[in-house]
Structure 1
Amino acid sequence: MASTTWVTATSSDWHEVLPLVEHDTYHLPEYVSICGRLEAAESTAFSWSDDRGGRFFLPLLFREIPGTSEVDATSPYGYPGPAVSPGGLGHDQWLAACAALRSALEERGARSCFVRLNPLLPADLEAMATVGAVVHHGSTVVMDLRRTDEEILAGIRKNHRRDIKRSNGEGRVATVDEAWAHLPQFVHVYHETMRRVGADERYSFSQEYFEELRKDLDEHVHLIVVHAGDELTAGAVLFETSGIVQYHLGGTLDRFLAQQPAKLIFDLAWRWSKQRGDAALHLGGGVGAAADALLRFKQGFSKEERSFHTWRIVPSREAYESLVRRQGVDLRSGDDEVFPAYRSLG
């Protein structure tokens, strides 16, 4: 027998489930709540369990669909995806959990569900594909911190090692700012970076957002900054949970790009994380998961890569297509490349 339930981010049940699944910072209720407030969405999670000890736990945000009284579901920003029992689920359990999720979404009237998978956590893509499309977007880079320092250094590109050594010799220094004393300067750096790369406005997170992360995530979030003399040239926010460290957000001032201070950030990040006993440092991928210059830069720190996928569920095809037509989207025109298609005009 299996059971399912929806767990709200404010419920103590959420924290009772987390120790029973392999999870990341992106699965913490505090993080999901922050994302929910940003999107004016309901922060919740689908929880499935069976009598064999299997667990499947998926954080989601339920949002109103503009111009309608209907809702859809999406992942919080980052790499959430399903968190399942340690050691994983059997294929039959994955099939059952995925089918139960689709039914639960339909019962709630969700017109679609968009899930970003976590490249570091187990996922049965074949089972997931039975209830929704699984789309491969590209690769991400991960550093295995269980290796020796010598093995890690051997996996870092020679020019990266050379530039890090030169930067240190020229007085540029990366530090972990546990007091977050340089948060305002970091936010300035981050915003300048978002403007430079032409990022969507929704990624220009405010200083209040970062303050919320620090207050609500506490020991799970850290700030690394790089200084050249008295000037902060680059910085990054890292997440840390269950031995997994995630490079969440970061940036570099335009005029210091040639110095590539991000190399100092990554170098300190792996050393600091390894010293704390963490098992993996996930650097992420390229912009929009593309095989671009950013991905190639990250590949210079590790040859180990993981695949990044999204999962797109339509609980009721009839209801979905009806909404798409009412929103004025022609599925034959190619507008359905955006998922969900009814948000392609937003």
Structure 2
Amino acid sequence: MAGAALLEPDDAAWTDALSRIRHDVYHLPEYVRIDAGLSGGAPAAYRYDEAGQVLLLPLVLRPVPDTDLRDAISPYGYPGPVADTADPAFWSRAAAAMTESLRALGVITAFVRLHPLLRAPAAALAEAGTVVQHGETVSVDLSLTPEQMWHQTHRTHRNQINKARRAGVSVVFDDWDRYDAWIGTYHATMRRVGAADFYFFTAEHFHRLRAALGERMHLAAALSADGDLLGGNLFFEYDGFMHTHLQATRDGGVQYADKLLYDEVRRWGRDRGNSIYHLGGGLGGASDSLFAYKAAFAAGRQAFHTWRVVADPDAFEKLAGPPTPEALAGRFPPYR
């Protein structure tokens, strides 16, 4: 017998599924609940069971303006579907059942970011939607020795990291008394780079995130020789995975604190026995200057994909026209 359901964060079936599947911090109900607050959506997870096997996909359900319909999107980060089997036939049936479940609940579309490290069978997902490959993401293999990690670092980054150390820049971990100061630094960085409004997360959001994740979230703060905050790296640590969530440095001279932060975080993660440190990719998965900056730290590369599902083609067509290949491969959903 097979079963499909959309779960709320308090449903024990959500944590039960996670207890059976290799997953990441992005799949935790407490993370999805906090993220849903950013868009005014409802946190949920799609669960599919069949013959003792299980799949889980976190989602945020958002109202579609001027309609009585909803659509679904991944929480911020990499919360793609995870399962306790790699069988493509199982994944294909799970994806088909998800489409039916969403349509029955008045959900038009789903936009899902796949996890670069927890690979999903793309061909199976493509049977129920469109899988788009973007650029690559960068990761550090934490089983390497510090010397091997250093060797993989571009010489320009190495030179600047050494300059930061000679200037007396240091990095401290989990000094949460500096959290509010770092949040101010983060907001200044977003203004400096002209970031979209979405990225101006409030101080209240940052504090709720810390309360929800507890010891799964860490702050590395870079300090000048005089003890001033130069910047910080807010990152997750969960079951051997590490991810930089956000990094920011203050306006003005920072003495290469940004590069020292990445170096110190990877060393810290290796010392704690983690397996991989995921730096992410370029803006929107593009091979841009941000990707090049991260790529100079490590040799690990993973393809980044998104999965676009049209659960209700009739409703989609009324809002955005026919679901052509071009409409499904571009900005999605196009009616947003």
Normalised TM-score (structure 1): 0.92
Displacement of 1:49 in angstroms is 1.9
Matched, 1:314 2:310: yes
Pairwise CA RMSD: 2.0
Q: Which amino acid in the other structure matches residue 28 of structure 1?
A: L
- What residue number does 2:291 align with? 295
Matched, 1:124 2:121: yes
Matched, 1:153 2:153: no
Matched, 1:230 2:220: no
Asked if structure 2 preserves the Cα contact closer than 8 Å seen for 1:175 and 1:268, the reply is no
For the residues of structure 2 that align with 1:334 and 1:49, how far apart are their CA atoms?
31
Matched, 1:63 2:62: yes
Displacement of 1:265 in angstroms is 1.0
- What residue number does 1:45 align with? 45
Q: Which amino acid in the other structure matches residue 297 of structure 1?
A: Y
For the residues of structure 2 that align with 1:154 and 1:332, how far apart are their CA atoms?
43
Quick one: which of 171, 191, 196 aligns to 1:200?
196
- What residue number does 1:305 align with? 301
For the residues of structure 2 that align with 1:180 and 1:36, how far apart are their CA atoms?
24
1:186-212 superposed Cα distances (whole Å, 9 cap, x missing partner): 011111111122111111011111111
Aligned residues: 335
Displacement of 1:22 in angstroms is 1.3
For the residues of structure 2 that align with 1:336 and 1:42, how far apart are their CA atoms?
26
Matched, 1:140 2:133: no
- What residue number does 1:167 align with? 164
- What residue number does 2:80 align with? 81
* Greater than 6 Å deviation, 4+ residue runs: 329-336
What SS is found at the alignment partner of 1:151? helix
Percent of aligned pairs with the same amino acid: 37
Q: Which amino acid in the other structure matches residue 26 of structure 1?
A: Y
Matched, 1:11 2:8: no
Displacement of 1:98 in angstroms is 1.1
- What residue number does 1:341 align with? 334
What SS is found at the alignment partner of 1:319? helix
Displacement of 1:148 in angstroms is 2.4
- What residue number does 2:213 align with? 217
Normalised TM-score (structure 2): 0.95
Displacement of 1:274 in angstroms is 1.0
For the residues of structure 2 that align with 1:83 and 1:291, how far apart are their CA atoms?
26
- What residue number does 1:29 align with? 29
For the residues of structure 2 that align with 1:330 and 1:271, how far apart are their CA atoms?
47
- What residue number does 1:245 align with? 242
Q: Which amino acid in the other structure matches residue 82 of structure 2?
A: A
For the residues of structure 2 that align with 1:319 and 1:218, how far apart are their CA atoms?
41
Asked if structure 1 preserves the Cα contact closer than 8 Å seen for 2:327 and 2:334, the reply is no
What SS is found at the alignment partner of 2:236? strand
For the residues of structure 2 that align with 1:155 and 1:14, how far apart are their CA atoms?
39
- What residue number does 1:94 align with? 91
Asked if structure 1 preserves the Cα contact closer than 8 Å seen for 2:113 and 2:305, the reply is yes
Structure 1 residues 151-160 or 215-224, which shifts more? 151-160
Displacement of 1:58 in angstroms is 0.1
Displacement of 1:96 in angstroms is 1.2
> Which structure 2 segments of 5+ residues have no match?
none
> Which structure 1 segments of 5+ residues have no match?
none
For the residues of structure 2 that align with 1:62 and 1:127, how far apart are their CA atoms?
23
Displacement of 1:264 in angstroms is 1.1
Structure 1 residues 72-81 or 248-257, which shifts more? 248-257
For the residues of structure 2 that align with 1:57 and 1:256, how far apart are their CA atoms?
45
Asked if structure 2 preserves the Cα contact closer than 8 Å seen for 1:84 and 1:122, the reply is no
Asked if structure 1 preserves the Cα contact closer than 8 Å seen for 2:313 and 2:323, the reply is no
What SS is found at the alignment partner of 2:314? helix
- What residue number does 2:100 align with? 103
Call closer, same or farther: CA 1:335–1:244 in 2, change over 3 Å.
Answer: closer
Displacement of 1:90 in angstroms is 0.8
For the residues of structure 2 that align with 1:41 and 1:153, how far apart are their CA atoms?
43
What SS is found at the alignment partner of 1:302? coil
